[in-house]
Structure 1
Amino acid sequence: MSRNLTIVTSNTNKAKEVAAFFGGTLEVRHVALDIPELRSDDVTEIAREKARYAYHHLHVPLIVDDTAFSIDALNGFPGPYAAYVLKSIGNTGILRLMDGVKDRNARFTTAIAFADETGIEIFTGTIEGRIITAPRGTGGFGYDPIFEVQGQTLAEIPLEEKSAISHRARALTAFRDWFVKKAGLKRSPADAKRLKDQRTLL
């Protein structure tokens, strides 16, 4: 199996994060494909259908992902509609909804769907954190400036470190372990060390 992998996303920041995660293990190619908006309360089903659509059009081994951002005090809102809500009301709107709320617990869950000629496989990862009262940090994207993990927002964590500890990293770790075995790839010493470091941070 090829060491090349295509990530299908319109989000260039997400593509960079995935490429940083894999380092030299795989050559990651980015393709922006307009995928119809899918509706479901289950991110794994959304990711599965996105992968099915993308593979039908591209016919190359690929991954897509979908992420839910769930806030306990808001009964799991915005959940799988995180991208739409971010575009509609942004982090400012989320902070207004959380004004005066004591329970700040929240989580990201990412579902990675891999598709090739043999079918579709799903891998998930979750990271727990809390909503802060004002944005912090200049890195990251999306909700990163208002989501804190162990005293730092995801926007305050350098990309290399974020690429090892995030919800997406956890899903990608599960995918990579499966994919490397499936493809019969051998890791270089540098890749093996990177994986060990990432697992330590996880």
Structure 2
Amino acid sequence: MNRTLTLVTSNPHKAKEVAAFFGGSVEISHVALDIPELRSDDIQEIAREKARYAYDRIHRPLMVDDTAFFIDALNGFPGPYAAYVLSTIGNTGILRLMEGARDRNARFTTAIAFADETGIFVFSGTISGRIIPEPRGSGGFGYDPIFEVDGKTLAEIPLEEKSAISHRARALTSFRDWFMNRQDRCLVDTNR
């Protein structure tokens, strides 16, 4: 069975990463749609509402994601507001906030929400690492140059490798396993 899926995101880097993850097993089309973002501390709730909004507009099976970035020394900041913080203070601002911090532990969590006529389903993945004092690497996007896992920043890891280990990859793996094996119309999300 040929499976197709629409990825709704305004970030072309995410679209490229998701397409690389599926490697042709699922045909991915990309739709850039401005989605109002729910203000919540719950990343899964944010992803669910983004999927609901997108599905109500384009009426085809789709997937959205939302990512939170939790820094232990900053009491979990920026959390689900990672995109806003990146666009306002950037990696430079985060590194300033981290000056002198001994605890450099951090984690990314991605929630992926899939929506179709049967409901909305949410999958998540997390990767733990640490904030380094200076950016390294030329790949990736966002916080990748300051987030280190096993001695390398996500910006130093080739896309193929990142697509296998990242928070998004972990969420995508859970989603893919469900999506490729699901019996259509047998599962309904009662929260819809």
Please state which band the TM-score falls in when normalised by the shorter chain: over 0.9
**Correspondence 1:59-74 to 2 at 5 A:** 59-74=59-74
Instruction: Please state which structure has a larger fraction of its residues in helix.
Output: 1
SS at match of 2:35: coil
Give the distance between the partners of 1:39 and 1:113, measured in 2 at CA.
Answer: 16
Q: CA deviation at 1:37?
A: 2.4
**Correspondence 1:85-100 to 2 at 5 A:** 85-100=85-100
Q: CA deviation at 1:50?
A: 0.1
Runs of 4+ in structure 1 over 6 Å off: none
SS at match of 2:114: strand
Post-superposition Cα deviations, 1:25-52, rounded to whole Å, max 9, x if no partner, equal: 1010000001012100000000000000
Identical aligned residues as a percent: 80
Structure 1 unpaired stretches of 5+? 185-202
Give the distance between the partners of 2:62 and 2:183, measured in 1 at CA.
Answer: 14
Q: Is the 8 A contact 2:72 2:105 kept in 1?
A: yes
Paired residues in the alignment total 184
The AA in structure 1 aligned to 2:63 is I
TM-score, L = length of structure 1? 0.89
The AA in structure 2 aligned to 1:9 is T
Give the distance between the partners of 2:81 and 2:135, measured in 1 at CA.
Answer: 21
Give the distance between the partners of 1:169 and 1:106, measured in 2 at CA.
Answer: 17
Give the distance between the partners of 2:104 and 2:15, measured in 1 at CA.
Answer: 29
TM-score, L = length of structure 2? 0.94
Give the distance between the partners of 2:109 and 2:148, measured in 1 at CA.
Answer: 15
Structure 2 unpaired stretches of 5+? 185-192
SS at match of 1:68: strand
